[in-house]
């Protein structure tokens, strides 16, 4: 058994929950039956692949032991090799195997001597996937050939290599490989509003919801269910879709609101459509073919990944062929920083190395020299990036999900390298890389210094870095920086990481610094400790606070001013925007990234060069708002019923109502509770009734909807519970859950259909009320044999019991059924004509307003009723419970999801809405962002490659930086220059951008500030404000007496508090007359800022009021 209590091969849904939202259950099951072998160098790239494969949860991973010992060059990229391992010459596989095993006890991790890894069924033939890391050309060709031709089934072969700032991944999954889902995206689904014939009569046009794009494209397939009058469509057969355009509500012809399907042999009659129906996209498997590695070398099928140089894949392929040729001839790689070796490498004839005409034509001698000088080095960022990509290929091979790499991915980041003149002459030798002595503290970085030189390494160590977030991205980022030698104590550097969350079981699958023994501990603290273990010189401080406006006392101006660079490792847009705004304010570089399943984006934000993240933020993946009436009466999608179950069932019965009972208990006295309730007279009666219902039991007259015609007395059960007997409470909770079932799924539906009968029409044409988006519901008839019914009662009863302190042992299905069998039948519900069910949100608001007016008019009777309810609470001889325990929804708590899922599924079935399984329901309700370790690793590797660029000497060049959009599922790796920041003229001689800030030192007077803007910009300031809209000076208000007041003193007087480290001022005004007369209205020739030229937007002004008056700058 494992540390999670699961047998090897079993699926732990809580552990794999975020990954399951990426792969799906079937793909995860296939993955867990897969055996993988990892051969070649056990370097940083290999351990990255192994780490990601272990976290993913394959059946077994075998490390092929080459017998090599740990060496100094490993420490810059292999996070499981320690300095002691190097000194003692410990075997590489031995050094990492136990630490890899800790990552996932559900995976069998084995080792095998390379001598046993033979090209036959006794060796390599035992595996489903074989990976070769940094192999020679001959070895790669041999492995690929054996795997490709293996009988009866090909073995998936993946080759990967990392050489300085260059690396590659290659995939060969055999002559035929079936892809069951090419992109992994959720199947599109929606409602059918109408079916009509096309103009030529050959197709059926299916109209879908008019408020959301159906998401389908030409060639997609869908299946239908519940389409009224056209039952032949509901046969479950996939039908090919053709996208069509129709007019929207505004009369504009648009895509996404309808699609066409062929009428086919059925000759379906569109006129027979009677209403209803849903469609769901169906993914169709396809077979792809691969060639063995040897056959791809001359004319390689490469993934295009650099939008700034479309010939780069071919250039890099030529480099690899030359590198392999050099290695074969010399028995080694080029010496670090050695121009002779680099020139010899570049001079190798690409054609003689096996390149075809297109590769020969693309070869770039200068690029070969640049990459060759560092090819013997190993850097963690490249290992992390390729480790994510190669491990994702393993997942594709095992699961059949996503599109495999076809077939080469070459990546390089020569832009990360300083220009040769800035590198200096200090490079480690090949002997230094293979040494074991570690004679200096910096020797651990020799693998990276072989690429960048020793001078550059010292700059990394001195950095002051702020990492925001210690989750998946944060863990990988801390690991990367520890290995890179960023923020080292010996160099005066430091890194601060903050995260306010504690570690949970579901984190362990992708936040690889955490283990099961860390569950419940703070993420930032554990992540910092784990990263420090990788590099004892890594100076990292952990904080446990969020970065937000309400923590600016911690993360103040002095804190931000002390940072050299900021790295976002966040999972929500709001926090990203806030951090981005602070970086712009303080002029700090920001490395931004985000992931969503297999998709990711990275963005380097460079002061005074690029746009910020806030200039064009990635939109939040949060759910769309659902109209209230759709939620409560007219759902048509599973998202609607799940939102209702979360809010109207879980939150209402198990959180909000118990919270009101707790408020009464914690008030301390009736007088205190009354005083507090009187502050909101319109709600006090509802509140006290809720408190009484929770503490004494609900009554039939509690709510005007009259949907709960039952009376429950909780007092005997709660009194028995206080005496140590929970049996009455067990029965009462089951009874209450059964009554709530009747209220929600029988009475509520009966009242709705009474208010709006099935034959109700809404116009003179006879249009039925229950048509279009409205789907008529059906009443449920409770039976304990229905799995959803019993699941609802069991989970609801269990939660009611927890509200009152819990029962031991927990309720089980058999006991619940037994209690139900002894309950009296519930009386039949009689619909009430006086209870209105609004048709839409506007009518609901009108009814609510009328109810509020009636409540105001009846204020006297409300007070009497309030007192009567208080009497019911306090007059009984049975004591009130000592406490009640509101339940705060937690998506990873099975009992919470059980009641939400059961309620949502019963309601969906009532409304003929297709169901989803509980795992998918959990994703929707919890708004869970799908996540997988492979994407995280690749993303942070790309981010770390950008970090190097901020340390180049001289002014940064935007041409060197790269933003990236990637999708590991579809092999999309788009690298491009970030967008330059827009500029506009302000005054005659100044150009300003979002980064422009007027920085004034000293406690300047208002007059000095006015004078500065006049002298520098010919701009006459008439208003100065701060803190958003607090006016410090306005010349229209006759405030001449403020002109000589120092700004900090004026801030104290007007704002009423001590000034911050920097006082931020917004100024307004106009250019003086001489400027206006002189200025021409020239057209903007460079395309920047094409807004209204009459708009004057002055730059912001920042006052460092505690500094000495000195030279100011903008």
Helices (H), 646-784: 657-667, 670-677, 684-695, 715-722, 727-742, 748-755
Peptide bond into 152 cis (omega under 30): yes
Known catalytic membership, residue 147: no
What are 938's two structure tokens? 């690749």
Would you state the torsion angle of the CA atoms of residues 123, 125, 130, 132, taken in this order, to the nearest 10 degrees?
40
What's the CA gap between 745 and 723, in Å, rounded? 35
C-alpha dihedral, 686 to 687 to 690 to 695, nearest 10°: -150
- According to DSSP, the β-strands at 60-65 and 35-40 are parallel
488: how many CB neighbours lie within 10 A of its CB?
Answer: 27
Whose tokens are 């991915």? That residue is 409
Q: Which of 302, 475, 629, 981 is catalytic?
A: 629
DSSP bridge pairs for 1019: 1071
Query: Token digits for 424?
Result: 């200096």
Residue 376: closest CA among 432, 296, 457, 328:
432
Give the integer Cα–Cα distance in Å for 508 and 54: 11
- Please report where in the chains the tokens 């939202």 appear, as a residue: 21
In the sheet where 203-208 sits, what is the strand order? 239-240, 221-225, 278-282, 189-197, 203-208, 258-262, 242-243
CA 634 – CA 1 distance, rounded (Å): 48
The four Cα atoms 262, 264, 269, 273 give a dihedral, to 10 degrees, of: -60
Torsion sign over Cα 474, 477, 482, 488: negative
The Cα-based distances of 540 to 121, 464, 465, 525, 1102 in angstroms read 49, 10, 9, 10, 30
Dihedral angle over CA of 868, 872, 875, 880, nearest 10:
-140
How many Cβ atoms are within 10 Å of 1081's Cβ, its own excluded? Answer: 6
470 dihedral zone (left: phi>0; alpha: psi -120 to 50; beta)? alpha
> Which one, of 405, 309, 495, 378, lies nearest residue 92 by Cα?
378
- Token code pair at residue 976: 């491009």
Calculate the alpha carbon distances from 123 to 62, 67, 118, 129 in Å.
11, 17, 5, 12
Q: 900: which 2 tokens?
A: 């939400």
To the nearest 10°, the Cα dihedral for 296, 297, 303, 306? Answer: -170
Length of the chain: 1114
Number of Cβ within a 10 Å radius of residue 699? 18
Task: Measure the CA–CA gap between 380 and 78, rounded to whole angstroms.
Answer: 7
Active site residues: 629
């Amino acid at each position: 058994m494992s540390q999670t209590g699961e047998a090897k091969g079993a699926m732990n849904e809580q552990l794999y929950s975020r990954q399951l939202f990426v792969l799906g259950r079937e793909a995860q099951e296939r993955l867990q039956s897969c055996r993988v072998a990892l051969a070649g160098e056990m370097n940083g790239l290999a351990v990255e692949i192994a780490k990601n494969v272990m976290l993913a949860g394959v059946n077994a991973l075998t490390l092929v032991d080459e017998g090599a010992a740990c060496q100094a060059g490993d420490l810059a990229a292999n996070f499981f090799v320690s300095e002691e391992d190097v000194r003692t010459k410990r075997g590489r596989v031995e050094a990492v195997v136990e630490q890899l095993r800790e990552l996932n006890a559900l995976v069998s991790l084995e080792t095998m001597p390379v001598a046993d890894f033979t090209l036959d069924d006794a060796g390599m033939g035992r595996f489903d996937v074989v990976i070769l890391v940094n192999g020679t050309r001959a070895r790669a060709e041999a492995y690929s050939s054996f795997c490709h031709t293996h009988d009866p089934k090909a073995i998936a072969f993946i080759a990967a290599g990392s050489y300085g700032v260059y690396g590659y991944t290659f995939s060969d999954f055999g002559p035929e490989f079936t892809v069951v889902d090419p992109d992994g995206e959720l199947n599109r689904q929606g409602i059918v509003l109408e079916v009509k014939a096309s103009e030529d009569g050959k197709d059926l046009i299916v109209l879908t919801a008019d408020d959301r794009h159906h998401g389908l494209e030409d060639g997609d397939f869908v299946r239908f269910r519940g389409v009224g009058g056209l039952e032949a469509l509901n046969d479950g057969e996939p039908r090919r879709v053709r996208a069509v355009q129709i007019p929207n509500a505004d009369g504009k012809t648009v895509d996404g609101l309808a699609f066409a399907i062929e009428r086919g042999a059925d000759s379906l009659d569109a006129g027979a459509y009677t209403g209803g129906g849903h469609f769901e996209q169906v993914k169709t498997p396809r077979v792809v073919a691969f060639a063995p590695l040897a056959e791809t070398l001359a004319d390689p099928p490469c993934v295009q990944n650099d939008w700034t140089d479309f010939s780069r894949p071919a250039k890099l392929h030529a480099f690899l062929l030359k590198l392999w040729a050099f290695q074969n001839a010399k028995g080694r790689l080029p010496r670090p920083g050695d121009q002779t070796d680099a020139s010899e490498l570049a001079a190798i004839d690409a054609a003689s190395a096996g390149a075809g005409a297109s590769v020969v034509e693309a070869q770039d001698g200068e690029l070969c020299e640049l990459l060759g000088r560092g090819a013997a080095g190993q850097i963690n960022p490249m290992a992390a990036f390729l480790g994510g990509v190669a491990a994702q290929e393993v997942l594709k091979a095992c699961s059949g999900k996503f599109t495999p790499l076809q077939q080469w991915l070459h990546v390089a980041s020569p832009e990360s390298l300083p220009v040769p003149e800035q590198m200096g002459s200090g490079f480690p030798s090949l002997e230094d890389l293979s040494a074991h002595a570690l004679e200096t503290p910096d020797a651990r970085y020799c693998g990276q210094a072989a690429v960048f030189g020793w001078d550059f390494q010292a700059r990394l160590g001195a950095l002051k870095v702020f990492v925001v977030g210690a989750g998946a991205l944060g863990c990988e980022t801390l690991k990367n920086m520890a290995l890179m030698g960023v923020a080292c104590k010996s160099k005066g550097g430091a890194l601060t990481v903050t995260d306010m969350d504690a570690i949970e079981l579901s984190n362990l699958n992708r936040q690889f610094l955490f283990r099961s023994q860390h569950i419940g501990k703070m993420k930032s603290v554990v992540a910092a400790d784990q990263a420090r273990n990788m590099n004892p010189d890594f100076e990292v401080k952990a904080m446990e606070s969020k970065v937000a406006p309400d923590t600016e006392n911690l993360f103040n101006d002095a804190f931000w001013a002390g940072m050299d660079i900021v790295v976002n490792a966040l999972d929500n847009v709001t926090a990203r925007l806030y951090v981005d705004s602070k970086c712009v304010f303080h002029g700090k570089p920001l490395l931004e990234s985000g992931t969503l399943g297999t998709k990711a984006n990275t963005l380097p934000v460079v002061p005074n060069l690029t746009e910020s993240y806030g200039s064009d933020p990635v939109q939040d993946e949060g759910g769309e708002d659902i109209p209230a009436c759709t939620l409560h009466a007219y759902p048509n999608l599973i998202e609607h019923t799940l939102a209702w179950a979360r809010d109207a069932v879980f939150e209402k019965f198990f959180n909000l109502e118990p919270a009101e009972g707790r408020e009464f208990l914690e008030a301390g006295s009736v007088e205190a509770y009354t005083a507090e309730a009187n502050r909101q007279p319109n709600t006090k009666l509802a509140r006290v009734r809720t408190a009484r219902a929770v503490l004494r039991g609900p009554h039939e007259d509690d709510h005007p909807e009259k949907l709960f015609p039952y009376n429950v007395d909780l007092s005997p059960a709660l009194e028995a519970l206080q005496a140590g007997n929970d049996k009455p409470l067990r029965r009462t909770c089951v009874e209450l859950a059964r009554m709530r079932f009747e209220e929600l799924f029988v009475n509520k539906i009966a009242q709705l259909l009474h208010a709006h009968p099935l034959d109700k029409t809404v116009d003179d044409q006879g249009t039925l009320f229950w048509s279009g988006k409205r789907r008529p519901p059906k009443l449920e008839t409770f039976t304990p044999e229905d799995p959803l019914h019993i699941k609802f009662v069991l989970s609801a009863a269990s939660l009611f019991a927890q509200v009152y302190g819990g029962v031991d042992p927990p309720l089980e299905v058999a006991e619940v059924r037994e209690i139900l069998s002894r309950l009296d039948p519930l009386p039949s519900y009689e619909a009430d004509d006086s209870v209105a069910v609004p048709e839409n949100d506007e009518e609901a608001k009108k009814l609510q307003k009328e109810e509020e007016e009636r409540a105001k008019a009846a204020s006297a009777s409300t007070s009497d009723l309030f007192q009567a309810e208080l009497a019911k609470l306090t007059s009984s001889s049975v004591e009130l419970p000592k406490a009640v325990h509101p339940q705060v929804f937690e998506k990873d708590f099975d009992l919470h999801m059980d009641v939400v899922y059961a309620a949502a599924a019963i309601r969906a079935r009532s409304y003929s809405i297709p169901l989803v399984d509980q795992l998918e329901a959990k994703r929707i309700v919890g708004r869970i962002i799908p996540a997988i370790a492979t994407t995280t690793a690749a993303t942070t590797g790309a981010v770390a490659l950008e970090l190097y660029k901020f340390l180049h000497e001289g002014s940064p060049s935007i041409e060197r930086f790269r933003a990236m959009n990637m999708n590991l599922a579809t092999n999309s790796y788009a690298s491009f220059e970030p967008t330059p920041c827009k500029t506009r003229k302000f005054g005659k001689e100044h150009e300003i951008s979002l980064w422009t800030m007027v920085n004034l030192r000293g406690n300047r007077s208002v007059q000095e500030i006015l004078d500065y803007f006049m002298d520098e910009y010919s701009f006459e300031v008439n208003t100065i404000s701060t803190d958003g809209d607090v006016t410090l000076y306005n010349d229209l208000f006759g405030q001449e007496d403020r002109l000589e007041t120092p700004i900090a003193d004026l801030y104290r007087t007007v704002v009423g508090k001590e000034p911050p480290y920097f006082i931020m001022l917004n100024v307004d005004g106009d250019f003086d007359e001489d400027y206006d007369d002189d200025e021409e209205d020239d057209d903007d020739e460079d395309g920047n800022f094409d807004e209204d030229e009459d708009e004057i937007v002055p730059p912001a002004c920042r006052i460092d009021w505690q500094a000495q008056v000195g030279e100011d700058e903008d």
